[in-house]
Amino acid sequence: MPLDVHIIECLEDNYAYLLRCANSGRTVIVDTPDPDKILEEAGKIGWDIDEIWNTHHHWDHAGGNDKIREATGAKVVAAASEADKIGHVDRMVSHGDYLRVGENEAEVLDVGGHTSGHVAFYFGGADTVFTGDTLFNLGCGRMFEGDPEQFLTSLQRLKHLPGATSVYCGHEYTVKNGEFALTVDPDNTLLQAYVQMAKEKRARNEPTVPSTIRAERGANPFLRWDDPVLRSRLNMDEARDAEVFAELRRRKDAF
* Interval 83-119: pLDDT, tens: 999 999 999 999 999 999 999 999 999 999 999 999 9
Query: What pLDDT is attached to residue 7?
Result: 98
- Kindly state the percentage of the chain with pLDDT values over 90: 99
How many Å apart are CA 185 and CA 113, to the nearest integer? 23
What CATH number does the domain containing 63 carry? 3.60.15.10
pLDDT at 190 over 80: yes
> Strand pairing of 75-79 and 51-53?
parallel
Find the radius of gyration of the CA atoms of the chain. Answer: 18
Query: What pLDDT is attached to residue 1?
Result: 62
Handedness of CA 230, 252, 79, 67 (dihedral sign): negative
- Residue 57, marked binder: no
- Residue 56, marked binder: yes
Please report, as a single letter, which amino acid is at residue 145.
E
**What positions carry a catalytic annotation?**
56, 58, 60-61, 114, 133, 171
- Residue 60, marked binder: yes
Query: What pLDDT is attached to residue 2?
Result: 78
- Residue 160, marked binder: no
- Residue 227, marked binder: no
Q: How many structural domains is the chain composed of?
A: 1
- Residue 97, marked binder: no
Residue 145: give the domain boundaries: 3-254
How many Å apart are CA 200 and CA 2, to the nearest integer? 29
Under the banding of pLDDT at 50, 70 and 90, the label for residue 33 is: very high
- The answer, yes or no, to whether the previous bond of 210 is cis (omega within 30 of 0) is yes
Geometric angle at alpha carbon 151, from 150 and 156, rounded to 5°: 100
Per-residue pLDDT tens over the stretch 158-169: 999 999 999 999
Please report, as a single letter, which amino acid is at residue 94.
S
Q: Which residues pair with 91 in a beta bridge?
A: 77
